[in-house]
Amino acid sequence: MSTAWQFYLTTVLVYLGVDVIACWGLNLQYGYTGILNFAYVVFQSAGAYTYAVLTLGPVYRGDFQQYIVGMSLPFPLPIIAAGVVGGLLSAVIGVVGLRRLRSDYQAMVLLVIGLIATTVITNASGIFNGAAGLSLIPKPLQSHLNLTLIGYQWAYVLLVAVFCVIIYWFVHRITQAPFGRSLRAVRDHEQAAAALGKNVTALRMTSFIIGGVIAGISGALLVGFIGAWSPGSWLYQETFIFFTALIVGGTANNAGAALGALLVPVAFLEATRFLPQFGGPGLIDALQWVAVGVLTLGFLWFRPRGVLPERKRSLRLPEIAGPPGPAGQSGPAARPVGAPRVEDARRRA
Amino acid sequence: MAELTALGFGILTASILALAAVGFTVQFSVTNILNLAYGDVMTGAAFVAYVASSRGLGGWWGLVFGGLFGAVFSLALNRLIYTPFIRRGAGLFTMIIVTIAVSLILQNLMQAIWGPGFFSLHIPAGASVHALGMALTESQLVVVAIAIVAMIALHSMLSFTRLGKAMRATASDPELARNCGIRTGRVTDIAWLISGLFCGLAGVALVVDFGSFQSTTGGAFLVPIVAAAVLGGVGQPYGAILGALVVGIVSELSATVIDPAYKDVTAFLVLIVVLLIRPQGIISEVATSKAVAA
């Protein structure tokens, strides 16, 4: 393989790993818990900025970029800190954003929080260098490893792969555990879960925070690779890409989330690079976004449960007569409570 | 007297906001869909006005074409996309993703067609009129006048006609309205037409006020619109007018105190604070019946 192709392949692999990790975090929130977090990319961005300011070192007077904190911590610490900041930010925003509102209102609150974050970070140039963003962010261990350019690229692929394995193991464990079952119960029928003694608020909050930690880590891994981060990298539309990935791949299915990350942000958006350039500036980008929107609508219409649908977990119980539960007006699903068949299969409603 | 000047701009912004927020809320009250593609239909109306002006039908003709486009397009959007999804059993959860997808598609289609540049309707601003320390141009005064006329027309329609009564009935209880023999399907269509008309008018008024626009202009204006609608009590046309006045004036006045770059943030914060403290808004009747706050 020529060097150029290796460089391209490793870059795509790193993007894939980062997107897969981000999709797992969002899947935990949206797929398993039913939180429409339209500010998801803000948490990824929080991780990216944390990584940046903890590796860039102190700011000098007259430096071309201004930012807060300014430290240069050794390798694993900035990534861990990115996760911590993602989680803390989720805790703060969760208190405000997860109030008991109708689900579309809640989505709107989170969307608006995302817009506020973009506006503030763009205009307050002292925090993360404003609209220009941060650049020349050091790559982890690059000065220590003494590798060739391509060698380092492959090393980074390995690093991202290790994180993928750790995070997959983690989300797989918690979604298979009784905790995951509780999350699905909250998603499918909040009142029923509460009636069974589940602390709905705490469960939603925990899922939101874990998702935030994962988003933060994905942001750190991404920025450590590309070396620059600005408000243009995390417009609210980016969150929509992750939602599309989940809808295409399959919500509440970690393999589906990974497949979605492969199909939408990586395959679908990378494929257009190989098209001949045509039209004016920005035309291909605009058509890409149109295609993403059409893809979402198409999947919601034809295959709302995605390529790899959520596994049906059903349990045969002895026949008992139970009154049909109240038909919930809002919320993801209105399923009779106390019906003889207990299953988690989710009506996308 | 910077505050009085800002107040003038606040009233201007509020007029445009009121047009848009009333349209938004009329449609929400009847259909229960939070249509986040609303801002992009506004931009669409502005582009229609732009095309009309480049064909020689410039000036205030734009309002006519923009309004017509908004009405027809909104109706089509509902008939072709939103209603089919709801018939398939899509809940609030799915519908919000659907409307965002539609918004992305519209915004980027417009960018694909017209490119990322800025456009202008070239409506002469006219002489500047000074009164009570406020200074507005003639074209800005026309915008305010149009908003006032549209509000009065809507108020008369809702209060004094059978159609208005049917719309109010459908908004407060669709089942009951249907059982009383109101053709709720037709009422829904008319609600989308009226909402779209206001949307189109607001879109053209917005770009007359801004002077220039691009494919993202309407989408960026969506948050203040939603803020105004929710603040007044979503589904309440009079509430939306009230909300528009508060949001418009607060955001313009805040620009005299803080960095104008954060003007938008004020509207965003108003929305979030309202949603957290009183999500049913000032006039809460419809919002309560639609269970906006669990």
As for the ipTM of the complex, it is 0.88
CA dihedral B262, B263, B265, B267 (to 10 degrees): 170
Residues A224 and A54: beta-carbon distance below 8 Å = no
Q: Could you give the 3-state DSSP secondary structure of residue A140? A: coil
Tell whether A292 is within 8 A of chain B (Cβ): yes
Residue with tokens 């109010």: B168
**Contacts for B212 with CB less than 8 Å, ≥ 6 apart:** B118, B119, B120
Chain A nearest-CA distance from B228, in A, is 14
| Neighboring chain A residues of B94 at a CB cutoff of 8 Å | 300, 304, 348-349
Contact: A348, B94; criterion CB under 8 Å = yes
Closest residue to B104, CB basis, from A116, A240, A283: A240
Q: E-strand spans in chain A?
A: 314-316, 341-343
**pLDDT at A332 exceeding the cut of 70:** no
Residues 111-130 in A contacting B (C-alpha not used; CB under 8 Å): 112-113, 115-116, 119-120, 123
Domains of chain A (ranges, CATH numbers): 11-343 (1.10.3470)
Which of B83, B86, B97, B258 should we substitute to test contact with A (largest number of A Cβ atoms within 10 Å)? Answer: B97
Closest residue to B226, CB basis, from A108, A116, A296: A108
| Sequence letter at residue A224 | G
Domain ranges of chain B: 14-218
Q: Could you give the 3-state DSSP secondary structure of residue A73? A: coil
Nearest to A333 by CA among A180, A182, A192, A181: A192
Contact: A119, B268; criterion CB under 8 Å = yes
pLDDT-based confidence at A43, cuts 50/70/90? very high
From the number of C-beta atoms within 10 Å of its C-beta (0-12, 13-18, 19+), residue B155 rates as middle
CA distance from start to end of chain A: 48
Report pLDDT digits (tens) over A102-117: 778 888 888 888 988 9
DSSP symbols for B68-79: HHHHHHHHHHII
Chain A nearest-CA distance from B92, in A, is 6
**pLDDT at A22 exceeding the cut of 90:** yes
Backbone phi and psi for residue A229, each to the nearest 5 degrees, phi listed first: -155, 130
Instruction: Indicate the DSSP class of residue A341.
Output: E
Residues 238-277 in A contacting B (C-alpha not used; CB under 8 Å): 240, 243, 247
Closest residue to A300, CB basis, from B98, B268, B290: B98
Tell whether A303 is within 8 A of chain B (Cβ): no
Q: What is the pLDDT along chain B (294 residues), one digit of tens a residue?
A: 567 777 888 888 899 999 999 999 999 888 888 899 999 999 999 999 999 988 887 777 889 999 999 999 999 999 999 999 999 988 888 899 999 999 999 999 999 998 888 988 877 777 777 776 677 788 888 889 999 999 999 999 988 999 999 988 888 888 899 999 899 889 999 999 999 999 999 999 999 888 889 998 998 889 889 888 888 877 788 888 999 998 888 888 888 888 777 877 888 888 888 877 877 777 766 677 676 655
Residues 83-112 in A contacting B (C-alpha not used; CB under 8 Å): 96, 99-105, 107-109, 112
Contact: A280, B34; criterion CB under 8 Å = no
Q: CA-to-CA distance for A273 and B49, rounded, in angstroms?
A: 35
CA dihedral A153, A156, A160, A161 (to 10 degrees): 70
| Neighboring chain B residues of A37 at a CB cutoff of 8 Å | none
Q: CA-to-CA distance for B177 and B175, rounded, in angstroms?
A: 5
From the number of C-beta atoms within 10 Å of its C-beta (0-12, 13-18, 19+), residue A141 rates as middle
CA distance from start to end of chain B: 45
Backbone phi and psi for residue B261, each to the nearest 5 degrees, phi listed first: -60, -25
Tell whether A191 is within 8 A of chain B (Cβ): no
Q: CA-to-CA distance for A76 and A87, rounded, in angstroms?
A: 17
Q: CA-to-CA distance for B65 and A189, rounded, in angstroms?
A: 47
| Neighboring chain A residues of B90 at a CB cutoff of 8 Å | 300, 348-349
Chain B nearest-CA distance from A264, in A, is 15
Contact: B93, A119; criterion CB under 8 Å = no
Q: CA-to-CA distance for B49 and A47, rounded, in angstroms?
A: 44
A183-197, A275-289, B111-125, range with the lowest pLDDT: A275-289
| Neighboring chain A residues of B289 at a CB cutoff of 8 Å | none
Residues A262 and A16: beta-carbon distance below 8 Å = yes
Report pLDDT digits (tens) over A52-74: 999 998 887 777 888 888 888 88
Over its C-alpha atoms, chain B yields an Rg (Å, rounded) of 18
Chain B nearest-CA distance from A28, in A, is 16
Closest residue to A240, CB basis, from B100, B292, B294: B100
Contact: B262, A286; criterion CB under 8 Å = no
Which residues share a beta bridge with B213? B119
Length of chain B counted residue by residue: 294
| Neighboring chain B residues of A304 at a CB cutoff of 8 Å | 94
Contact: A108, B275; criterion CB under 8 Å = yes
Residues A77 and A54: beta-carbon distance below 8 Å = yes
Which of B94, B284, B288 should we substitute to test contact with A (largest number of A Cβ atoms within 10 Å)? Answer: B94
| Neighboring chain A residues of B291 at a CB cutoff of 8 Å | 102, 329-330
At residue A326's C-alpha, the angle toward residues A181 and A309, to 5°, is 40
Among chain B residues, the shortest Cα distance to A238 is held by B104
At residue A83's C-alpha, the angle toward residues A82 and A86, to 5°, is 85
**pLDDT at A25 exceeding the cut of 80:** yes
pLDDT-based confidence at A342, cuts 50/70/90? very low
Among chain B residues, the shortest Cα distance to A349 is held by B91
Average per-residue pLDDT for chain A = 86
Residues A102 and B245: beta-carbon distance below 8 Å = no
Which residues share a beta bridge with A101? B293
Residues B232 and B240: beta-carbon distance below 8 Å = yes
**pLDDT at A26 exceeding the cut of 90:** yes
Closest residue to B96, CB basis, from A107, A281, A288: A107
| Neighboring chain B residues of A281 at a CB cutoff of 8 Å | 115-116
Q: CA-to-CA distance for B57 and B49, rounded, in angstroms?
A: 9
A201 vs A89, A95, A176, B294, CA distance in Å? 17, 10, 20, 13
Contact: B96, A108; criterion CB under 8 Å = yes
Instruction: Determine the angle formed by the axes of helices B222-232 and B237-257, rounding to 10 degrees.
Output: 120
Among chain B residues, the shortest Cα distance to A98 is held by B276
A204-208, A219-223, B283-287, range with the lowest pLDDT: B283-287
| Neighboring chain A residues of B293 at a CB cutoff of 8 Å | 100-102, 105
